[in-house]
Protein backbone atom coordinates (compact mmCIF):
# COMPACT_ATOMS: atom_id res chain seq x y z
CA UNK A 1 0.00 0.00 0.00
CA UNK A 2 1.38 3.40 -0.96
CA UNK A 3 1.48 6.05 1.73
CA UNK A 4 1.54 9.71 0.82
CA UNK A 5 2.82 12.39 3.12
CA UNK A 6 0.43 15.01 4.41
CA UNK A 7 2.32 17.62 2.36
CA UNK A 8 1.80 15.77 -0.93
CA UNK A 9 -1.87 15.19 -0.12
CA UNK A 10 -2.29 18.89 0.65
CA UNK A 11 -0.49 19.87 -2.58
CA UNK A 12 -2.74 17.61 -4.63
CA UNK A 13 -5.83 19.05 -2.95
CA UNK A 14 -4.67 22.65 -3.59
CA UNK A 15 -3.93 21.86 -7.26
CA UNK A 16 -7.37 20.32 -7.64
CA UNK A 17 -8.93 23.47 -6.16
CA UNK A 18 -6.93 25.71 -8.51
CA UNK A 19 -8.01 23.72 -11.56
CA UNK A 20 -11.64 23.71 -10.46
CA UNK A 21 -11.73 27.42 -9.74
CA UNK A 22 -9.95 28.28 -12.99
CA UNK A 23 -12.76 26.70 -14.96
CA UNK A 24 -10.58 23.94 -16.43
CA UNK A 25 -12.88 21.29 -14.99
CA UNK A 26 -16.09 23.30 -15.41
CA UNK A 27 -15.38 24.22 -19.03
CA UNK A 28 -17.98 22.94 -21.47
CA UNK A 29 -16.47 20.59 -24.07
CA UNK A 30 -16.65 21.85 -27.63
CA UNK A 31 -18.75 19.56 -29.78
CA UNK A 32 -17.87 19.44 -33.45
CA UNK A 33 -20.52 21.18 -35.51
CA UNK A 34 -21.91 23.19 -32.59
CA UNK A 35 -22.74 26.73 -33.63
CA UNK A 36 -20.45 29.45 -32.25
CA UNK A 37 -23.39 31.41 -30.84
CA UNK A 38 -24.36 28.49 -28.57
CA UNK A 39 -20.73 27.72 -27.71
CA UNK A 40 -20.31 31.33 -26.51
CA UNK A 41 -23.15 30.82 -24.01
CA UNK A 42 -21.64 27.57 -22.75
CA UNK A 43 -18.16 29.12 -22.47
CA UNK A 44 -19.50 31.62 -19.91
CA UNK A 45 -19.87 28.74 -17.47
CA UNK A 46 -16.08 28.68 -17.06
CA UNK A 47 -15.81 32.29 -15.84
CA UNK A 48 -14.88 32.45 -12.16
CA UNK A 49 -15.68 36.07 -11.36
CA UNK A 50 -19.43 36.45 -10.80
CA UNK A 51 -19.68 39.88 -12.46
CA UNK A 52 -17.61 38.72 -15.43
CA UNK A 53 -19.74 35.56 -15.77
CA UNK A 54 -22.98 37.58 -15.62
CA UNK A 55 -21.71 40.02 -18.26
CA UNK A 56 -20.63 37.09 -20.42
CA UNK A 57 -24.04 35.41 -20.11
CA UNK A 58 -25.88 38.67 -20.84
CA UNK A 59 -23.88 39.25 -24.03
CA UNK A 60 -23.99 35.61 -25.18
CA UNK A 61 -27.72 35.14 -24.52
CA UNK A 62 -28.45 38.42 -26.31
CA UNK A 63 -26.53 37.16 -29.35
CA UNK A 64 -28.28 33.79 -29.17
CA UNK A 65 -31.72 35.42 -29.05
CA UNK A 66 -30.89 37.74 -31.94
CA UNK A 67 -29.56 34.84 -34.04
CA UNK A 68 -32.73 32.83 -33.42
CA UNK A 69 -34.96 35.80 -34.22
CA UNK A 70 -33.12 36.40 -37.52
CA UNK A 71 -33.39 32.72 -38.40
CA UNK A 72 -29.62 32.14 -38.30
CA UNK A 73 -30.16 29.30 -35.81
CA UNK A 74 -33.17 27.17 -34.98
CA UNK A 75 -33.74 25.51 -31.63
CA UNK A 76 -35.40 22.10 -31.97
CA UNK A 77 -36.41 19.83 -29.09
CA UNK A 78 -36.46 16.02 -29.30
CA UNK A 79 -40.20 15.92 -30.10
CA UNK A 80 -39.78 18.32 -33.01
CA UNK A 81 -36.82 16.30 -34.31
CA UNK A 82 -38.89 13.10 -34.21
CA UNK A 83 -41.73 14.87 -36.04
CA UNK A 84 -39.28 16.01 -38.74
CA UNK A 85 -37.97 12.44 -39.15
CA UNK A 86 -41.54 11.15 -39.37
CA UNK A 87 -42.48 13.75 -41.98
CA UNK A 88 -39.39 12.89 -44.05
CA UNK A 89 -40.09 9.12 -43.96
CA UNK A 90 -39.52 7.69 -47.42
CA UNK A 91 -36.98 10.28 -48.51
CA UNK A 92 -33.23 9.65 -48.51
CA UNK A 93 -32.10 12.64 -46.46
CA UNK A 94 -28.72 12.18 -44.75
CA UNK A 95 -28.91 15.80 -43.56
CA UNK A 96 -31.46 14.66 -40.94
CA UNK A 97 -28.50 13.14 -39.06
CA UNK A 98 -28.11 16.56 -37.42
CA UNK A 99 -30.97 15.51 -35.12
CA UNK A 100 -28.97 12.50 -33.87
CA UNK A 101 -26.20 14.37 -32.04
CA UNK A 102 -26.57 12.71 -28.66
CA UNK A 103 -27.92 9.39 -29.87
CA UNK A 104 -25.18 6.83 -30.43
CA UNK A 105 -27.73 4.69 -32.25
CA UNK A 106 -30.34 7.03 -33.72
CA UNK A 107 -33.83 5.70 -34.06
CA UNK A 108 -34.36 4.43 -37.55
CA UNK A 109 -38.02 4.41 -38.43
CA UNK A 110 -38.79 1.28 -40.41
CA UNK A 111 -42.50 1.94 -40.72
CA UNK A 112 -45.05 4.71 -40.62
CA UNK A 113 -48.66 4.37 -39.54
CA UNK A 114 -50.95 7.19 -40.60
CA UNK A 115 -54.31 7.98 -42.20
CA UNK A 116 -55.09 8.78 -45.83
CA UNK A 117 -56.68 12.17 -46.41
CA UNK A 118 -57.37 11.21 -50.04
CA UNK A 119 -56.86 8.14 -52.24
CA UNK A 120 -57.41 7.97 -55.99
CA UNK A 121 -56.19 6.29 -59.16
CA UNK A 122 -53.80 8.42 -61.18
CA UNK A 123 -53.94 8.76 -64.97
CA UNK A 124 -51.70 5.67 -65.29
CA UNK A 125 -54.10 3.55 -63.19
CA UNK A 126 -51.81 3.45 -60.14
CA UNK A 127 -53.20 4.26 -56.71
CA UNK A 128 -52.05 7.55 -55.18
CA UNK A 129 -52.36 8.16 -51.43
CA UNK A 130 -52.33 11.62 -49.87
CA UNK A 131 -51.52 11.24 -46.19
CA UNK A 132 -51.85 13.31 -43.04
CA UNK A 133 -48.87 15.64 -42.88
CA UNK A 134 -48.88 16.21 -46.65
CA UNK A 135 -46.88 13.20 -47.88
CA UNK A 136 -47.98 11.71 -51.21
CA UNK A 137 -47.23 8.07 -52.06
CA UNK A 138 -47.92 6.09 -55.21
CA UNK A 139 -48.00 2.35 -55.84
CA UNK A 140 -45.46 1.09 -58.40
CA UNK A 141 -47.99 -1.07 -60.16
CA UNK A 142 -51.60 -0.59 -61.26
CA UNK A 143 -52.99 -3.27 -58.96
CA UNK A 144 -56.54 -3.98 -57.91
CA UNK A 145 -56.97 -3.72 -54.16
CA UNK A 146 -59.54 -5.86 -52.32
CA UNK A 147 -61.04 -2.83 -50.57
CA UNK A 148 -61.06 0.52 -52.30
CA UNK A 149 -59.00 3.00 -50.25
CA UNK A 150 -60.60 6.29 -49.35
CA UNK A 151 -60.15 9.28 -47.06
CA UNK A 152 -59.84 7.96 -43.53
CA UNK A 153 -58.26 4.64 -44.57
CA UNK A 154 -55.52 3.44 -42.24
CA UNK A 155 -52.20 3.31 -44.07
CA UNK A 156 -49.02 1.54 -43.01
CA UNK A 157 -45.80 2.01 -44.95
CA UNK A 158 -42.80 -0.13 -44.09
CA UNK A 159 -39.27 -0.41 -45.39
CA UNK A 160 -38.50 -3.38 -47.56
CA UNK A 161 -35.35 -5.47 -47.32
CA UNK A 162 -33.46 -3.76 -50.15
CA UNK A 163 -34.45 -0.15 -49.49
CA UNK A 164 -37.87 -0.10 -51.13
CA UNK A 165 -41.19 0.48 -49.39
CA UNK A 166 -44.45 -1.44 -49.05
CA UNK A 167 -47.79 0.29 -48.49
CA UNK A 168 -50.75 -1.42 -46.80
CA UNK A 169 -54.19 0.12 -46.81
CA UNK A 170 -56.74 -0.98 -44.20
CA UNK A 171 -54.79 -4.14 -43.36
CA UNK A 172 -54.55 -5.49 -46.92
CA UNK A 173 -51.38 -7.06 -48.28
CA UNK A 174 -48.45 -4.70 -48.77
CA UNK A 175 -47.79 -3.39 -52.27
CA UNK A 176 -44.54 -1.79 -53.50
CA UNK A 177 -44.76 1.99 -53.25
CA UNK A 178 -42.70 5.14 -53.62
CA UNK A 179 -42.94 8.58 -52.12
CA UNK A 180 -43.74 11.31 -54.63
CA UNK A 181 -43.56 14.33 -52.30
* pLDDT value at residue 82: 73
Question: What DSSP character marks residue 96?
Answer: G
Q: Does pTM top 0.95 for this prediction?
A: no
The residue ranges of the chain whose pLDDT is under 50 are 1, 4-26, 104-107
Share of the chain above pLDDT 70, in %: 69
Cα 153 to its chain centre, rounded Å, is 29
- Which of 112, 152, 153, 158 is CA-nearest to residue 135? 112
* pLDDT value at residue 171: 86
Torsion of CA 150, 170, 147, 152, to 10 degrees: -20
- Maximum C-alpha span of the chain: 89
* pLDDT value at residue 147: 86
* pLDDT value at residue 130: 93
Amino acid sequence: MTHFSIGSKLSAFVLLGVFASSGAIAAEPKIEGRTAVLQNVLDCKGKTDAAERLACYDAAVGSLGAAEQKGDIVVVDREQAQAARRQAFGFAMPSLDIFNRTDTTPEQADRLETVATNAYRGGDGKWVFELEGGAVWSLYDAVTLGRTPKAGSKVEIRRGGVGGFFLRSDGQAGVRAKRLR
